[in-house]
Amino acid sequence: MDRPPPFTKINHIKLAAKDIRMTQMFYNEIMGCAYIPEYDHKTAQGELFTSMVKLQHEGKDFIVEIRHNEAQAKAQEGWDPITWGVPAHCSKVFTAIKGWVLCALDPDGKIIRIYCDEEHGWTTKFDHDDFWLA
């Protein structure tokens, strides 16, 4: 049996949103992503149902699709679908097993985790938190 060709990248990821523009603004202003207006998806009646933003990573675009789906956004509250990385530890945040992590909520209640690439070495004395690190 022939094997399919290997994947070359992750094309994009999709996040459910209660309010597309509010979630898009969060990823633009807080997470540093750029809005891609030409990628907007609209119904035949002209109603926006998807917006996309991109983040540059190692010279490549990482695209996040923000799709209006209130029920799915509600179901994903407290879920952390993406863990972002930053190069260095720059403020007091949670101590994880081998590095540090900052946690926040996006407008749809999804947990945003930002790990730093800088490491402190493996430890068994990491922070515990029933909400952020559950």
Q: What is the pLDDT of residues 19-58, one digit of tens each?
A: 999 999 999 998 899 999 999 999 999 999 999 999 887 7
Q: Are 24 and 49 in contact (CB under 8 A)?
A: no
On whether both 64 and 101 belong to a single domain, the answer is: no
| pTM, rounded to two decimals | 0.78
On whether both 105 and 48 belong to a single domain, the answer is: no
Could you tell me the residue range of the domain that residue 2 belongs to?
1-75
Q: How many independent structural domains does the chain possess?
A: 2
- Looking at residue 64, its pLDDT comes to 95
DSSP 32-83: -PEE-GGG-EE-TT--EEEEEEEEEETTEEEEEEEEE-HHHHHHTTT----E
**Rounded distance, CA 86 to CA 118, Å?**
8
On whether both 1 and 55 belong to a single domain, the answer is: yes
- Looking at residue 91, its pLDDT comes to 62
On whether both 87 and 67 belong to a single domain, the answer is: no
On whether both 66 and 81 belong to a single domain, the answer is: no
On whether both 28 and 48 belong to a single domain, the answer is: yes
